[in-house]
Amino acid sequence: MNDNSARSGFVNKLRDSAYLQVFTNRRMVVMILLGFASGLPLPLTAGTLQAWLTMTGIDIKTIGIFSLVGVPYTLKFIWSPFMDRFVPPWLGRRRGWIVSMQVLLLLGIAVMALTSPGRMPLALAAIALGVAFFSASQDIVIDAYRTDVLPQKERGIGVAVFIFGYRIAMLVAGALALIMSDIIGWQKTYFFMALFMIFGMLGAFTGREPDHHIVPPRTMQEAVWGPLKDFFSRKSAIIIILFIILYKLGDAYAGALSTAFLIRGVNFTPTDVGTINKGMGLVATIVGALFGGTLMVKMGLFRSLWYFGILQMVSNLSFMVLAIVGKSYTAMIVAVAFENLAGGMGSTAFVAFVMALCNKRFSATQFALLSSLAVLGRVVISPTSGYIVSYVGWANFFLLTTVAALPGLLLVLYLKREIVALDAVKTS
């Protein structure tokens, strides 16, 4: 009897715990499905499409031009105010746009399947550009939806399960699509990939629309300038922008040449790199995101940004050790696992921070702008990586990437009061 009472008490405690409540609510299922929908189109207009073009015999110059298809992902902040301002007549401001873009994506990917790269390369490029535009637009609204609908305590784990769904979709539209193309051909493969968008629609229909009391911008002028005015009304707005640019800088700088380092710097084979760096690295990123999101429920935003940021910084040193040790499978596995695990944890906390900054009236525009700023540092500094390696060598390069992470960490401390205040805001 006492044993039964003890077990019953333990079960009740577990059921009532914050962790279990977060993991078992419907929002997490929605996040996985929307993450899947967000990740699926990207490979189909990038790496997988490149493989299709290559196997068809398209010349390398034309294949290079196809990389321009990805431009909408970098410019999506331009039309994000439109998606904040206008409300579709079905399902509400967020889910209405999400489902609309998903229907267009399903149709667009199916039309790609009907288009021959050999006979109509320009037509395929135009259709792929349209798919990329719809995909970037879907990302705008899904990011806004995730920001609007997740309560404060669920942001970390919500981001983590979203990343999980996103990465699974990348595998489906990447590795699985390549395998399927060998068995059933490219056109049928793209048809199957189009049908996978139905999972994203299920997520949109299953989720609830964010609080109907949120008032959209009343004019396009307000939709464009309102997000900027709202953000810069913060006392530390400029410092926050610097933090957004710098927090992941060391991590991104180290990753800029990681594949080249493993192959040329320490002489691993492409098979080694594909299996360990890409395969195991992907698993480590997912585990890191889920682990970090779970810890955030207890740790809160400030401590998560601080401790996960330290782990990100220290993980770069594992590659420095590998450069010193030389070709060692043990050292490679440790470095790749550590770097991706820490990177997944840091990304989860960072995205949760960006979400916390957004005003729900303008969340589509603000998240698109802030996430674009987050890659600015990487775009600016990454081209210098090759020159640095040629001058100082691989080991010193990774030491410098560790130093590059310090400004972002120091800004975590400087912004402690603002971060704690953001974390204290209760949302529903």
Burial 228-237 (b: 16+ CB within 10 A, else e): eebbeeeeee
How much is the average pLDDT of 65-90? Answer: 86
Confidence of residue 426 (pLDDT cuts 50, 70, 90): very low
Domain locations in the chain? 25-216, 227-424
SS (H, E, C) 127-168: HHHHHHHHHHHHHHHHHHHHHHHCCHHHHHHHHHHHHHHHHH
Predicted confidence at residue 18, as pLDDT, reads: 53
Digit-coded pLDDT (tens) for 204-237: 898 888 877 778 888 889 999 989 999 998 888 9
**CATH code that applies to domain 227-424:** 1.20.1250.20
Model confidence over 346-371: pLDDT tens digits? 999 999 999 989 888 888 999 988 98
Tokens of 1: 């009897």
pLDDT in tens, 119-171: 888 899 999 999 999 999 999 999 999 988 888 888 888 888 998 899 899 88
| 217 Cβ neighbours under 8 A, 6+ residues apart | 81, 84, 85, 223, 226, 361, 362
The answer to which of 213-217, 244-248, 282-286, 309-313 has the lowest mean pLDDT is 213-217
Query: How is residue 209 annotated by DSSP?
Result: P
How far out from the chain centre does Cα 12 lie?
35
Tell me whether domains 25-216 and 227-424 share a fold: yes
- Topology of the domain covering 25-216: Growth Hormone; Chain: A; (1.20.1250)
